[in-house]
């Protein structure tokens, strides 16, 4: 499974080493489908330009997309991303396994959004696949059925 190490360069969390691991395929697929369905329920449209620009476009718009969700859906989406993150408590000793995050690990307000963004980047291809799978279905459901809600000719 793909992992990256990310270290803030500024602020109170500077120097801490976070290990962000890509979700397993089935977990990522389920997470992405839930996010896309939540966006659909909220009436959000995923911009075509972002889809066509690939990972960079979606990563750049991820936080804007999440702002359309209900608090409950957004919390679940953000938690799924943070579940990808562990901390290397002793960066000088790589033999020590990274540990799950606890609240005391983060002291800088900028660290949490940065960690979520990095986790999103690792999993964005599942999100993109879910958009291509679910949004055409949502659009088809929104289209009026022939003769329904249309003026008589």
Q: Which of 79, 78, 83 is nearest to 22 (CA)?
A: 83
d(CA 147, CA 100): 56
What DSSP assignment string belongs to 43-58?
Answer: T----HHHHHTHHHHH
d(CA 1, CA 21): 7
Task: Give me the sheet containing 3-6, strands edge to edge.
Answer: 3-6, 17-21, 85-88, 99-100
Average pLDDT, consecutive stretches of 10 residues, N- to C-terminus, the chain (153 residues):
94 96 93 84 63 53 74 94 96 90 96 94 82 64 56 53
Start-end of H helices in the chain: 25-41, 48-52, 54-66, 71-82, 111-142
* Model confidence, pTM: 0.76
pLDDT reported for residue 144:
60
pLDDT reported for residue 140:
61
pLDDT reported for residue 61:
59
């Amino acid at each position: 499974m793909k992992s990256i190490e990310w270290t803030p360069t500024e602020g109170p969390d500077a120097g801490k080493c976070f290990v962000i691991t890509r979700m397993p395929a089935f977990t990522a697929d389920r997470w992405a489908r839930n996010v896309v369905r939540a966006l659909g329920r909220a009436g959000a449209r995923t911009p075509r330009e972002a889809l066509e620009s690939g990972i960079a476009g979606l990563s750049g718009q991820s936080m804007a997309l999440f702002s359309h969700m209900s608090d409950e859906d957004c919390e679940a989406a953000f938690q799924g991303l943070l579940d990808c993150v562990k901390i290397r408590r002793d960066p000088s000793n790589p033999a020590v396994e990274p540990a799950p995050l606890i609240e005391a690990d983060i002291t800088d307000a900028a660290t949490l959004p940065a960690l979520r963004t990095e986790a999103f980047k690792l999993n964005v291809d599942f999100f993109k696949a879910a958009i291509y799978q679910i949004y055409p279905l949502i659009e088809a459901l929104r289209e009026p059925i022939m003769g329904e809600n249309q003026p008589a000719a």
